[in-house]
Amino acid sequence: MPDTRRSFITATAVAASSYSRIMGANERVSLVIIGVGGRGTAHAKSYAGLKSHCDITGICDVNQAARERVSTMLQGLGSTKPKEYADMKEVFADKSVDAVSMATPNHWHALGTIWACRAGKDVYVEKPASHNCFEADRMVDAARKYNRMVQVGTQSRSVPHIQKAAQLLKEGVIGQVYMAKGLCFKRRVSIGRKPDTETPPGIDWDKFLGPAPMRKFNELRFRYNWHWFWDTGNGDIGNQGVHQMDIALWGLGVKELPTSVSSTGGKFVYDDDQETPNTQMATFDYGGRELMFEVRGLITGSESGSGPERGVKVGNLWYGSDGYLVLDGSGFRVYKGEKGELAMEEKSSRDDDAPHMRNFLEAVKTRQRDSLNAEIAISINSAKLCHLANISYRLKRQLRVDPKAGRFVNDAEANQMLTRNYRAPYVVPAKV
């Protein structure tokens, strides 16, 4: 006969590791912010304004100066002095912590999320969800196995005018949508060149690199410019662009991968240390419709169907059988008919991160995964498109995709780039 007592104990142990304590509706979430550089500072400011929902009990960063700076800032905003952690593993071991908000560089998103889920912490993780496609699926695995709330920081999913535009497209406001375009015409100046140096005091460079290869410290690979190196970032298509990629997919109404991807471009004009392109075009084939994406970091004009005075530089366009819709942070416009006459317009002021973070904190309390506006299984789709485009760009060829398998068709070289060689002990596991 089965040992029912042993089965009960095992089940109880699994439950204990997979569920947070039950929280009351009015109880505040104990939150630690991991990574308090530029984006993490913004997290701290936003959560500090959500005092009825959470307490920022700690901050974690490999940079001592960053921890001290944000600690001082938070106390100036009326928060109590947060506990400082130099290693995220110390955060995950702290049983008083309910949730973490991760604003680390891209190459840490997946492993940090997986570790947090294993430790029973809910996770708000910055975009793009992952640094590569393999990691994206492992993040979903972890969220499901440990029953965690995992929200990705594509905050457009919580912006009312974007939600409305997506619903209108679904309802057929411009007829049958045959093309979505995402635009990331965000000005980026040259990063120049800098030599490798010794690691400055107060920075744990090994932990900063984590899953990435070990390299000598270089100021250009630290702080914001890590976005422009393949070891740690994904270029602007995976930085600013992933927001517009996510919105493009949302309005196009597709959740699966395309059947092919083609991406071209280059690093034009500048002679500097940046590895990723500052000009990039990507096309994704979905059979009867397509998604196009364009990155331009150089001086450029705007784009829309209504003239440059109303054009967009960072936004989206959808084209349908009856008209087209133009959207950016200031609102959206619908044009109908052969003459492209304005049929609808909605203006909006730019929202901050707070609604998206509040959505996350409420889900932490209710344990209702479906209430998350950018739940991890939704948000990996836009991240994967950025990764597929970058693989095509780097290999300089069009790639066929098997949407169900999530792999390239008969292309071992491209499939190898769906993941990376991890540096021990910072390895994203195949089984979480």
Could you confirm whether domain 160-349+383-409 is CATH 1.10.150.120? no
| pLDDT digits 0-9 by tens, 332-359 | 999 999 999 999 999 998 768 999 999 9
Give the closest residue to 180 by CA, choosing from 86, 285, 31, 82: 285
Distance separating alpha carbons of residues 57 and 94, to the nearest angstrom: 11
| pLDDT digits 0-9 by tens, 183-219 | 999 999 999 999 999 999 999 999 999 999 999 999 9
| pLDDT digits 0-9 by tens, 361-404 | 999 999 999 999 999 999 999 999 999 999 999 999 999 999 99
Whether 18 has a pLDDT exceeding 50, the answer reads no
Supply the pTM of this predicted model.
Answer: 0.93
Distance separating alpha carbons of residues 135 and 137, to the nearest angstrom: 5
The predicted model gives 105-110 an average pLDDT of: 98
Tokens linked to 178 = 């045959």
Could you say which of 3.40.50.720, 3.30.565.10, 1.10.260.40, 3.20.20.70 is the CATH number of the domain covering 4-156+354-376?
3.40.50.720
Q: Where are the domains of the chain?
A: 4-156+354-376, 160-349+383-409
- Mean of pLDDT over the chain: 93
Handedness of CA 25, 30, 34, 35 (dihedral sign): positive
Distance separating alpha carbons of residues 427 and 3, to the nearest angstrom: 36
pLDDT for residue 128:
98
Distance separating alpha carbons of residues 61 and 37, to the nearest angstrom: 8
Whether 25 has a pLDDT exceeding 90, the answer reads no
CA angle 235-138-104, nearest 5°?
45
Distance separating alpha carbons of residues 125 and 307, to the nearest angstrom: 37
**Would you state the torsion angle of the CA atoms of residues 398, 403, 408, 414, taken in this order, to the nearest 10 degrees?**
80
